[in-house]
Amino acid sequence: MDKKLEEQPVLDAPRDRKRGVKLPTFRAPWKWTTGKLRHGTGTREPRCPQVEPLYPKRRTKALDAMDKFLNSDDFRNATIPRLSGAVQIPTESFDDMGNVGEDPRWDAFYPFAAYLNKRFPLVHSTLQLDKINTHALLYTWPGTNPSLKPTLLMAHQDVVPVPKATEKQWTHPPFSGFYDGTFIWGRGSSDCKNQLIGIMEAVEALIEAGFTPKRTLILSFGFDEEISGLRGAQRLSRHLVEKYGHNSMAVIVDEGAVIAESWGANFAMPGVAEKGAVDIDIVVRMPGGHSSIPPPHNGIGVASELITLIEANPYEPFLDDKNPYLSLLRCGAEHAPHFPKKLRHLLDQRDRTCRKKHDPLAQEASKAGLDIKYLMTTSVAVDLISGGVKTNALPERTQFTVNHRINVGSSSSAVFAHITDLAAHVARKYNLTLTPFNGTESPSSITLSYRPTLLQPAPVTPTLIDPKRPSAYSILAGTTRALYAEDGILVAPGIMTGNTDTRYYWVLSENIFRYAPGWDKEQRGLGNIHTVDERIGVQAHVDTVRWMVGFVRNMDEAELE
């Protein structure tokens, strides 16, 4: 960065109310002069403006005492058993579960609701609780000003199952909630009972401190997020739309992206977009017969050839102008000390020229690893396959399923066209009829169909920072920078490769953030979610509570349009 353009701290800095530490104050981001010369403008503008740390202005002795308590060992010691106890309740959801009330496996959620009622008595005596489709929990804390759009906080109660074959691989039993002095171990500890318990802890603390919201606060906890949310989040969303209407929420925060190190700087990356998703079923129908007289290629062999062709023709990395990772790259170029020179050159080149089909910036950025590549690439994974019923009988029907996560700027129609072209090649080779996307199977054919869980890429949440008007994004960023003021956290838009329950909430708000605000420097990544040894650092959990408290208060004071 050009030293002449660096922003200098103002001398009269405020004190961090929680720590009593004197912090540097920066001039308002719209006055910053960092950044490259913008092509064609003749002016210098920041590529990645950072808002100032945002602290609640409304203070009382009780609220100050609450802040102090939430930063104490006493609170840490009190919240550990509460999260541990939540992990000990095995609220697993399975892909083949039947309807609520019919499948007894849903009964695991009754003790979890009872546990929340016992552990958070003030929440349950103060907020209205509606149970949607039996197990979805919707808490409402009415604000004193009903003209203000509500704040909506989300999490889900269910966890992915633990396969019996992996139980002995865990360092501590998967539903033990074991605390080792740093981490709480167990399924759901980081996906996402930590966020759910963090929200409940925050609201319980606010009630105890005498806080009364002006802006209605809603807590929405589904129970089948891990199996697409059709019975939980979808029903919750319908209920909220019926009660409040479209675009009725000021902001929605759900589980999501974490704080991580990139290029020598620490970035909070709230997910402001999600890739789409589509599962495509492919059925190969070929004549059967006795396996002692096999043809050169049977149905399983032809299906395998098509699978090989699909894997050999992946999608190319491509950064659409709306893709939040492009914003993160600009933040890295402006603020990160180890941002690669080649990436900087390609980024400058992109900002000066029109975007073309070939995207050298995306190609270079994707070399950082698969976790980065798939932020800007449609992914393809063959996840299911079945065929044949007997060792001496040729398979007459072979089926496999290909999961796609659709890149921002692409669509399901592009995926359908791509996989149809590949299937057509194999169909021609073996003289099979190709039936794309009408669901009708016929003898000697390849049939393509998609499942009803089809999801287009999510609308992108606005992240523009306007000095004259606060926004949901600036409040989220300011709350984060206040909590981690000593660490110099930067905030940049992020993108989710997976999907959360917010897929059903698009109609409720344009301001949707998928964000895990807790940060533990000893924990890398997402805490082994969906695999052996899932865990959460206690410091990350405590900071989640503190962030939720600060965000609720800051939103309550914000004058949003």
Residue 478, pLDDT above cutoff 80: yes
Residue 153, pLDDT above cutoff 80: yes
206 CB-side CA count, 13 A: 27
Helix (H) or strand (E) holding 255: strand 251-257
Would the CA dihedral through 107, 111, 114, 116 be positive or negative?
negative
What is the pTM assigned to this prediction? 0.88
Which residues, 6+ apart, have CB-to-CB distance to 237 below 8 Å? 504, 505, 507, 508
Tell me how far the alpha carbon of residue 437 is from its chain's centroid. Answer: 30
Residue 401, pLDDT above cutoff 50: yes
- For the chain, what percent of residues have pLDDT higher than 90? 84
- For the chain, what percent of residues have pLDDT higher than 70? 90
Q: Is 559 among the catalytic positions?
A: no
Longest Cα–Cα distance of the chain, Å, equals 88
| Domains of the chain, CATH where assigned | 61-273+458-557 (3.40.630.10), 276-315+378-450 (3.30.70.360)
What are residue 149's phi and psi, to 5 degrees?
-65, 140
Annotated binding residue at 279? Answer: no
Would the CA dihedral through 492, 498, 501, 504 be positive or negative?
positive
- The length of the chain, given as a count of residues: 561
Cβ-contact 59, 65 below 8 angstroms = no
Annotated binding residue at 191? Answer: yes
Mind listing the pLDDT tens digit for each residue in 441-454? 999 999 999 998 89
* Single-letter residue type at 487: D
Which three-class secondary structure state does DSSP give residue 247? coil
Annotated binding residue at 242? Answer: no
Which residue in the list 52, 67, 158, 274 is annotated as catalytic? 158
Q: Is 158 among the catalytic positions?
A: yes
Tell me how far the alpha carbon of residue 141 is from its chain's centroid. Answer: 25
Mind listing the pLDDT tens digit for each residue in 489-508? 999 999 988 899 999 999 99
- List the beta bridge partners of residue 390: none
Cβ-contact 550, 483 below 8 angstroms = yes
Closest residue by Cα to residue 280 from 383, 175, 131, 152: 383
Closest residue by Cα to residue 157 from 103, 104, 193, 199: 193
Say what the pLDDT of residue 557 is. Answer: 96
Say what the pLDDT of residue 161 is. Answer: 96
Annotated binding residue at 226? Answer: yes
> How sure is the predictor about 32, in pLDDT bands with cuts at 50, 70 and 90?
very low
Say what the pLDDT of residue 27 is. Answer: 32
Q: How far apart are CA 231 and CA 454, in angstroms?
A: 16
Which residue in the list 67, 201, 224, 225 is annotated as catalytic? 225
Helix (H) or strand (E) holding 238: helix 233-244
